[in-house]
Structure 1
Amino acid sequence: MSDASVSRASRRPIRSEKWSGKKVLQAIILYPLLLLTTVITLGPFLWLLSTALKTGENVYAYPPQFIPNPITFQNFIDVFNIMPLWDYIGNTVVMTTLGVLLNLSLCALTAYPLARLRFPGRNAIFFTMVSTMILPNAAGMIVNFLTIQSLGLYNSLMGVVLPSAISIFNVFLLRQAFITVPNDMELSARIDGAGEFRIFASIMVPMIRPAIATVVIFDFMAFWNSLIWPVIVLDDKAKYPLGPALRYLNSNLAFNFPYIAAGTIISVIPIIVIFLILQRQFINGMVGAVKG
């Protein structure tokens, strides 16, 4: 073995030690920052959960106790006894399911031709639609309310869902996903005699599952947490979804924070479950939208 080879071999462990030291330094800086970010992000939710598990006396204890002592689940039971929470949950499930299905269907049918079909004014239509995203949601409330009244949908769950049945952001997200689908798959389907709707339903939609999961998560959160619009449209409080119902609980039991915290935790659980189920598809969908 030559002297040059021996020299190179002797230098390799040194470079490895330097690289290992760099990794350790990065870990020392990065992990505390990630831990701090996690604490800041989850802190309010963990404190809310802690309050929901406390008795009424422990909430006002000084100094404040983060870990409840004793831990009680009675607050969750009492919330169901104080108000017809199951009815409100049922209203919310119906409203959210209807809203997500309508939004997903209409947005996909709108995004597909804007992404895959060529016709005059396609880009102008898309840019015009995207430009409306700068308008605040409150700007259309009066028009939406008058429209709902004229259609005879006042005081109905469909009246709550219909103004949000399509979202420009979701159209944009699905359009970007449709653009990323390879043209070869579409051409192969056309050669085999597939029609436009067959291509859309059997090829395009399955290829953009991550983007669809992203839309489902966003829509689920929006409809599940809807607060102002249901109060405007629904005159009968028995038809309220969970958000306005919990607001009603807050106004009547402002002194009992454990009940309010327990009701809020109950309303948050479905969102957490949906996100945990679709989180991988959600991340892939957001990455695909950015690349597109």
Structure 2
Amino acid sequence: MLKLNPVYQRELKTGVRSFRTALIIFGYNGLLALFGLFAFYVTFEYEHRFGGSVNYASILRIYAIIAATEFCLVLFSVPALTAGAIAGEREKQTLEILLTTKLSPHQIIMGKLASSISMMILLAFSSLPVLALVFSVGGVTLKDFAEFMLLVIVTAIYIGSIGIFFSALFKKTTSATVTTYGTLLILVVGTIGVTWIINVILQMKLDNINVEGTIYQTADVGNWLLLWLVNPAITCLSMIERQIGTGKELNNLLSSFGSVSLRIRNNWFFISSVLQLGISIVLLSLSSRLLDPLRKRCHRQKDH
């Protein structure tokens, strides 16, 4: 049998045995179920009674809204769960004791990451019956559910690795939490803001050049749009649009800033997921180096 990470095993036992965990799962899925049933009532009963017909495309919008809500929950919850993973141990003065065990810094980091994101993954899997309400009408397949679970796991690892990195870098949980949320804000809003500013500057230059011309040209930010590959919100948007068969909003958003290779645009979800996992591996490796007491000892000896 595979041996569980001791850190993850200890955190898992202390977490799932609490009444608070069961209450969170019950409340979360209860709210999603109420929302789903209300949406079904509005779609079928209200529209049929007052509109005379039922718009079955609304069912896919219900799935998109529920999936987007769960995704936002992952974005806002994972930083709070991971930012204090290492810094909290340091504040409780138990990190040195943990480092004296046979566990390597990498095992400690991976155990903390797994224990921190397990709750979010558990909530996502437990909410599948609510998402499965759309099966009664159709339009969403098991493959779509699997892709959504993959999105949740990749995003949790991606954002969680950022929180773990800052938790290992800073001594205080507050500093790690603020920096993690700030980085998340830069990833979600900042990447779009940077491309928008570049687009405005380029458009102003084109307007000055063609001030006397009759042909209007739109600015193209070019490869700067590839910054959006590290934006988890854009990744979620690309997945949902492909599943519900629209694909217009993301294409219109990309087209308003410039042109992207058709191969990248068609495989946006896969490319961005692989890139985000690659960034996670780098951040987790750096976290292990920051936590390695032997590395700190070598630096001290060099200084002397």
The TM-score bracket by the shorter chain reads 0.3 to 0.5
What's the TM-score, normalizing by structure 1?
0.32
Higher relative contact order (CA 8 A, sep 6+): 1
What's the TM-score, normalizing by structure 2?
0.31
Which has the greater radius of gyration? 1
